[in-house]
Chains A and B, each alone.
Chain A
Amino acid sequence: MNSPMIHCQQLTHVYSGKVALSNVSFELDAGEPVGLVGPNGAGKTTLLSVLSGFLRPTSGTVRLFGQPPGATQLIGKVSALPQVARLDPSFTIIEQLVFYARLQGFTTQQAALEASRVLEEVSLTEVTHEKPPALSHGMAKRVAIAQALIGKPALILLDEPTAGLDPVNVRTVRAIIAERSPATTFIISSHDLAELDRLCKHILLLENGILQPETIDLNEEQSAIRYMTLQMETGPAREVIAEFQALEGVLQVTNPQKNEFIVAYDPERQPHMDLQLMQCITRQHWHYRQLSHGKTLEEKLFFKD
């Protein structure tokens, strides 16, 4: 029987008398990226630090590929982007990446090629011979992402990978994750729910150190009730709700934010709700900005029915 990629059992971490993680238990198999969300202080970084072997849990069991975090059997198999970590200011970027690749078992020549490759992947070839103090915050972040990409790790733990990056580099990181998945499994902690919505199929929600009982499956295809999220350019809220409510198959229409409407519907009664909504908008001469299937991740996580 294959053991899961990550196995956490009754994981608790107490830091200075404060419970950062409380009896967290879950199992994850290799595959699509997994998002880790929760408010500030919920325990996301603590959980990733425990999984990376940077922090010893107070109690509980953790296994990655059947090994405890930090085991030498995991070298090259697991890599991490810590939230707060800077490179050594004494050495150039390339020297440090080559050193890391050498630790992962690359020969000197292979390590030099690998270091250049990962720098190219994050579009940072121009800083190869710079020392870390010469880099901007965003550049340092990209170098930290580059080190996590050395080799072919089966699992990469990313703590806030896009925080502090400009939109172009956020796209680059997203593209890297999309390209490497599912051969590499990513666990991504982030506050950017739109980003996670795009990348992840599963979400782990932590609140006050407690993992919420259900992992959120972003795939709604099997649900009896489906949702559409509509962002309008123009259109009075009361009229929009009234018009949509009258459509065949619509169960409920809500207006959680200005110009945003969530339509709950029965897919058996109306399988083409998107077309029906578009026709309604055209009839009323309204303008819309975006129509998407499902609820936003934010709605799913924090504004459950």
Chain B
Amino acid sequence: MHPGFLNHLLLISQCELKRTFATRSGLLSIVTFAVVWGVILLYPLRFSADLLVQEKGLMQGFSFLDVIGFGSIQQWPIPEFGLFWHFALLLFPLLSITLAADQTCSDRERGTLRFIVVRSSRDRVFFGRFAGVMVIQALLISATALSTLALVLYRDAALFSSALPDLLVVTTNLILAVLPFTAMMAALSATVKSARQATVWAILIWIFLAAIIGGFAYYLPTLAFLKLLVPGYQLSALAALSGWQTLQLAYVPLLQSLILLALGRWIMARQTL
């Protein structure tokens, strides 16, 4: 009996997890990320949160944060999560572009994909790798959210019950936010020859797509809906929301991911291995 689609999806994504968490190069990347995140958490995030807590009474009516566009931070009952939300909305999509860049390209160039595809299928490899990278990012997002929770509890352990919903909100939203970026990298990785090329193309496509569609929408407002095609389009609107309101825009990354995955699958099916 042939192993099923889900069985292969699990095996291939497990292999990606092993590559990240059980190989020397993978662990080095994780340690680097942990150090960078540790610095962000202990310095800008902690200091800003302390400042917000101390100044909360003084900020009634007018705030410097409103001026610089971070006014929504004040709507978060726990400022650490408001700050984490803003940092993470910038950090994780950028991380996704690098972390998810090598889903299939270097294996295809090396010929390793041939050994896998002959006993699986292109679809299974494509979706298995995508699922693996998504699980890795979900774990990293969860770890950073949990470290933020630890910071909150260190300040005031009584905040545990009110912090839990925030933890779930940010984790869910961030996973949704990186979904289209990962799908875009899956499609690019199926096309180009190296992870570096995939990253460069992602940045170029992202900038030009946003600029071109922005330009069209400026002169022809009826085309403004095309902005929905730009991964991360919802992020600026998302930053202005707080709590469960943030899920109002969940349809945008889900729709983008579906389109990008369909495109990536089409490319993968036609690519020479």
Inter-subunit contact B2/A75 (CB<8 Å):
yes
| 8 Å CB interface, A60-86 against B | 70-73, 75-76, 78-80, 82, 84-86
Task: Compute how far the CA of A270 lies from the CA of B201 in the bound complex, rounded to whole angstroms.
Answer: 74
Tell whether B23 is near chain A: CB-to-CB under 8 Å. yes
Closest to A151 in B: B119
Name the A residues within 8 Å of B117 (CB-CB).
Answer: 53-54, 70
Secondary structure of the B contact surface, majority rule: helix
CB of A45 to closest CB in B, whole Å: 12
Q: Which of A53, A55, A90, A144: most chain B CB closer than 10 A?
A: A90
Interface 9-mer from B104-112, B176-184, B256-264: B104-112
Task: Compute how far the CA of A73 lies from the CA of B2 in the bound complex, rounded to whole angstroms.
Answer: 7
CB of B18 to closest CB in A, whole Å: 8
Q: Which of B26, B114, B120: most chain A CB closer than 10 A?
A: B114
Inter-subunit contact A72/B114 (CB<8 Å):
no
Inter-subunit contact B115/A90 (CB<8 Å):
no
Interface residues on B, range: 20 to 34
Inter-subunit contact B121/A80 (CB<8 Å):
no
| 8 Å CB interface, B220-273 against A | 270, 272-273
* Residue in A49, A73, A87, A150 whose CB lies within 8 Å of B112: A87
Inter-subunit contact A79/B118 (CB<8 Å):
yes
Inter-subunit contact B11/A103 (CB<8 Å):
yes
Inter-subunit contact A86/B112 (CB<8 Å):
yes
Inter-subunit contact A75/B119 (CB<8 Å):
yes
CB of B119 to closest CB in A, whole Å: 4
The answer to whether A100 and B2 touch (CB under 8 A), given A55-B273, A90-B25, is no
Inter-subunit contact A55/B119 (CB<8 Å):
no
Inter-subunit contact A54/B119 (CB<8 Å):
no
Tell whether A220 is near chain B: CB-to-CB under 8 Å. no
Name the A residues within 8 Å of B115 (CB-CB).
Answer: 82, 85, 87, 96, 100, 144, 147
Tell whether A208 is near chain B: CB-to-CB under 8 Å. no
Task: Compute how far the CA of A99 lies from the CA of B3 in the bound complex, rounded to whole angstroms.
Answer: 13
Closest to B119 in A: A103
Tell whether B36 is near chain A: CB-to-CB under 8 Å. no
Tell whether B86 is near chain A: CB-to-CB under 8 Å. no
Chain B residues with a Cβ under 8 A of chain A: 1-3, 8, 11, 15, 18-19, 23, 25-26, 107, 110-112, 114-122, 270, 272-273
Q: Could you give 9 example pairs across A and B, Cβ below 8 Å?
A: A53-B117, A55-B273, A79-B118, A86-B110, A86-B111, A86-B112, A87-B112, A91-B23, A103-B11
